C-alpha cells in the first residue's frame, strides 16, 4: 500500500474514532431520571449526586442538599435547629430561608413524563409543624431555584398547620395528600391533583377528596354537629339546601377551596349540601373532632 493510500486510510480511521467518541460523550452527558429518587440530606461535602438531571435540560447535574443557620452552611444553633436549606447545583448554591426554625428535613427528586424535574423538600419542626414543605424547580429564565407549589399555604385561614406528601405520579400529573389541622374537621387528610401546563404545576380542580378524619385513635368520615349548621346547594352560593340540627350525625364527603373561600360537602339524612368551613374565629362546628397542637 502506497503512502497516499495509507494516509487516506489513517484519516478515515481517525474521523470514525472521533465520531465514536463524540457519540459516547453525548450519551453519557444526557440522562433520563427515574420517576422518584429519595435523596439524602447531609453536609456540603456529603451526598453529592452526579447521575440525575435537576435543571430540566436532560443533562446530568452535580448537586447536593445541606442545612445551615443564618446563611452559614453546615451550622445549627445550640439546640440543634436550622433555618436555611442550601441547594448546590453545578457549583452554584441557592439558599432557602425559613422564618421558622426546624430540626431536620427530607428530600426527593420527582420527574414527570415530559422530563420536568422537581425537588420535594419537607423541613419538620416541633409539634408536627412544617417550616418548609413543597415542590421546587430550577427556573432557567431566573437562573435559580423557585417554588413550584408551596404545600403549607393552600388552607391558610382554615387550618392551623398544613403539609403535603406526594402519593402518585401519573404522566405529567402529581397527586398530593395534604395533612392539616383544620378548624372544622380537626386532623384530616385531603388529596388534590396538580398537572403540568404552560410551564407550571397547576391544581386541576377546586374540589379535593377527603381521605379521612382523625377521631381519637380512629380514622373516620362520620362526625356529630355541635351546633345548628346551614348547608347550601353548592359552594359559594347563598341557596340554602337544609339545616343540620345540633347533635345530628353527618358524613363528610369533600372539600372545595377557591380564593379565600372553603366549603365542606356532607351528607345529612340522605341529602347532600355544603357548609362554610370554620376559621380560627368561628365557633366549633363538630363535637367529636380531634385538635392537636
Cell 379521612: give the residue: 212
Return d(Cα 83, Cα 152) in angstroms, integer: 16
Answer yes or no: are the C-beta atoms of 271 and 242 closer than 8 Å.
yes
Q: What is the rounded radius of gyration, in angstroms, for the C-alpha atoms of the chain?
A: 26
Spell out the per-residue pLDDT of the chain, length 293, in tens: 555 544 454 555 444 444 444 443 333 356 899 999 999 998 877 889 999 999 999 999 999 999 999 999 999 999 999 999 999 999 899 999 999 999 999 999 999 999 999 999 999 999 889 999 999 999 999 989 999 999 999 999 999 999 999 999 999 999 999 999 999 999 999 999 999 999 999 999 999 999 999 877 788 999 999 999 999 999 999 999 999 999 999 999 999 999 999 999 999 999 999 999 999 988 999 998 888 75
Cα separations (Å) of 114 from 146, 170, 172, 197?
19, 11, 7, 11
Q: Give residue 14's pLDDT.
A: 47
Quote the pTM value.
Answer: 0.86
Query: Residue 2 has what pLDDT?
Result: 54
Amino acid at each position: 500500500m502506497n503512502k497516499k493510500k495509507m494516509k487516506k486510510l489513517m484519516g478515515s480511521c481517525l474521523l470514525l474514532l472521533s465520531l465514536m467518541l463524540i457519540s459516547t460523550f453525548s450519551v453519557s452527558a444526557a440522562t433520563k431520571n427515574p420517576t422518584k429518587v429519595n435523596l439524602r440530606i447531609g453536609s456540603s461535602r456529603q451526598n453529592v449526586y452526579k447521575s440525575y438531571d435537576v435543571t430540566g435540560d436532560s443533562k446530568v447535574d452535580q448537586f447536593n442538599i445541606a442545612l445551615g443557620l443564618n446563611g452559614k452552611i453546615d451550622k445549627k444553633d445550640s439546640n440543634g435547629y436550622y433555618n436555611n436549606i442550601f441547594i448546590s447545583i453545578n457549583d452554584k448554591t441557592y439558599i432557602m430561608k425559613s422564618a421558622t426554625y426546624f430540626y431536620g428535613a427530607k428530600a426527593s427528586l420527582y420527574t414527570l413524563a415530559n422530563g420536568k424535574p422537581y425537588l420535594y423538600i419537607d423541613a419538620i419542626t416541633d409539634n408536627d409543624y412544617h417550616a418548609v414543605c413543597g415542590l421546587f424547580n430550577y427556573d432557567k429564565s431566573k437562573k435559580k431555584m423557585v417554588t413550584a407549589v408551596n404545600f403549607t399555604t393552600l388552607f391558610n385561614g382554615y387550618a392551623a398547620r398544613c403539609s403535603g406528601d406526594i402519593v402518585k405520579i401519573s404522566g405529567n400529573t402529581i397527586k398530593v395528600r395534604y395533612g392539616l389541622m383544620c378548624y372544622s374537621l380537626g386532623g384530616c387528610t385531603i388529596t388534590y391533583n396538580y398537572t403540568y401546563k404552560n410551564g407550571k404545576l397547576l391544581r386541576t380542580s377546586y374540589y379535593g377528596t377527603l381521605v379521612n378524619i382523625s377521631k381519637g385513635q380512629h380514622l373516620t368520615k362520620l362526625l356529630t354537629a355541635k351546633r345548628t349548621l346551614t348547608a347550601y346547594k353548592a359552594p359559594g352560593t347563598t341557596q340554602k339546601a337544609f339545616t343540620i340540627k345540633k347533635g345530628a350525625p353527618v358524613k363528610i364527603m369533600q372539600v372545595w377551596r377557591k380564593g379565600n373561600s372553603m366549603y365542606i360537602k356532607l351528607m345529612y339524612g340522605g341529602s347532600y349540601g355544603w357548609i362554610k368551613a370554620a376559621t380560627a374565629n368561628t365557633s366549633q362546628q363538630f363535637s367529636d373532632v380531634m385538635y392537636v397542637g
